[in-house]
Amino acid sequence: MMHARVAFAGAIHDATPADASLTEVMLADGRRVAAAQLVWLPPFNAGTVIALGLNYADHARELASKAQDEPLVFLKGPGALLGHLGATRRPEGVKFMHYECELAVVIGRVARQVERSRALQHVAGYCIANDYAVRDYLENWYRPNLRVKNRDGGTVLGPWLVDAADVADPACLGLRTFVNGKLTQQGNTRNMIFDIPYLIEYLSSFMTLLPGDVILTGTPEGVVNVMPGDVVACEIDGLGRLINTIAADHEFGR
């Protein structure tokens, strides 16, 4: 089952696809609404947002990073989150802002000191994440610093949370990003350096993971600069297509 959270006609609703084409959704109260008429919110109430840096060998090479003995994990705040079909601001004058298409793993059951063999039992489902970075602001203090990776609207989630039961093998999903329709990023979750069971085992060894906590598992190579007006679409096999538009300062009244 695929689940969305949408705003429509004055209320927030849980919704599911009304047809296979995903162009219409069914609200929990039975109404069918065209997808374009909805305001799409992140598809679950996110708790702690955990993100991985350099978790694909090809992307790590792209950034000339050396091999790691431990996952590079950073955290994000709730203000960064944004739903499908939203707009992410590109500050005037910055030189390099890029998307990152990532598989997001949503925790469904409390996980504390979970072994990898049981790790996937703690997963509620999966969704697509697009985690923007504005590299101009990178400083070498507690990297990646929040000004780069925790900007308002810089972490896009959705459109759907797909039940774990409906994802046969999360370790073999193709990821693709299109900018204005042109394929710019391509990868497969099989190329993660630290796979999902490892990440759950590692994280839950020192922090209790709670339902709603989400792990953004990193991005493969192929991140490119995006400009105001660009439409960025991230796809992951079986999870749908997450669309976001880059907006200039003036569209945010700045």
Partner 1 sequence: MLADAGLFSIPCDVPPYQLSGAVYGTLLNHRSALQMLGDAVNQPPYGAAPSAPVLYIKPRNTLARTGDVVRIPAGTPELEVGACLGLVLGRAACRVSAARAMDYVAGYLIVADVSIPHASYHRPSIRYKARDGYCPLGPAVTARAAIANPDALTIRAYVDGTLGQTSSTADLIRPAARLLADVTEFMTLAPGDVLAVGAAAPPLRIHPGQSLRIEIDGLGSLCNPFLGAAA
The H-assigned helical ranges of the chain are: 57-62, 116-119, 146-149, 196-204
Least Å distance, CB 50 to partner 1, is 8
Look-up of token digits 């350099």: 54
Least Å distance, CB 70 to partner 1, is 6
Least Å distance, CB 53 to partner 1, is 8
Cis peptide before 159 (omega within 30 of 0): yes
What is d(CA 33, CA 216) in angstroms, rounded to the nearest whole number? 30
What is d(CA 112, CA 117) in angstroms, rounded to the nearest whole number? 14
Phi-psi region of 13 (alpha: psi -120 to 50; beta: other; left: phi over 0): beta
Chain residues in the site for partner 1 (CB under 8 A): 44-45, 47-48, 50, 70, 72-80, 109-110, 112, 137, 139-143, 145-147, 150-152, 205-212
Least Å distance, CB 29 to partner 1, is 21
Compare residues 31 and 109 and give the one whose CB is closer to partner 1. 109
Compare residues 58 and 136 and give the one whose CB is closer to partner 1. 136
Compare residues 74 and 178 and give the one whose CB is closer to partner 1. 74
Compare residues 59 and 151 and give the one whose CB is closer to partner 1. 151
